[in-house]
Amino acid sequence: MTVNQQENQGELLFDHTVRLSHRFGMRLVSACLIAFCLYTLWAAINATVLMFGLYLGVDGLTLMKVMVVVLVLSIVLLAIVGWRYHRKTWLKKLRIIDLGDQLSFQVGEEESRYAWSTLRRMSVRSSDMSKYKLDIFFEANTYRIEAWGPASKDLEQVARKLKAYLDKRGDQFDYC
């Protein structure tokens, strides 16, 4: 498939929504941020309920029952909020375009171009029936891509093209 790029034309290799990590430390920062926010929200809800219960003079057994109900509702609410934040953080629209002497990676609205010569290695982390996980290492950046469903087949094709390039170049890297 051919796609028009501003002044260049290229071959569209991949165009799907995938689980993508393309910045160093993004996973750790994301997990810490999600955990901190969820804990803060849970603590605030529990403190508010406890304060109102004590202020209204509710007896200990009733207050304990209310706290258990609040705990269960908090876990459900926090799971929903955490899941939505997780999806917003990790699931990205990725387009990979071969521009001849360069590869274009478009993540959402952001585009990065890498010369084929800066491709250092690639590795397939998992290639079971439902998911395909691929790591692509350039001199300047690393892309960790996880695709499922029809996108996994297209990602496998990208991996084959990268492997063919590395074979042609004659690198001694262990890329599969």
What integer is the mean pLDDT of 91-106? Answer: 90
**Residues in the chain, total:** 176
- Domain ranges, ordered by start, for the chain: 12-24+91-96+106-166, 27-89
Please tell me the pTM assigned to this model.
0.65
List the one residue out of 90, 76, 93 whose CA is nearest residue 38: 76
- What helix, strand, coil percent values describe the chain, rounded to 5? 50, 35, 15
Mind listing the pLDDT tens digit for each residue in 39-97?
887 788 778 878 887 888 878 788 788 778 877 887 788 778 778 877 777 788 999 99
What is the pLDDT of the chain when averaged over all its residues?
80
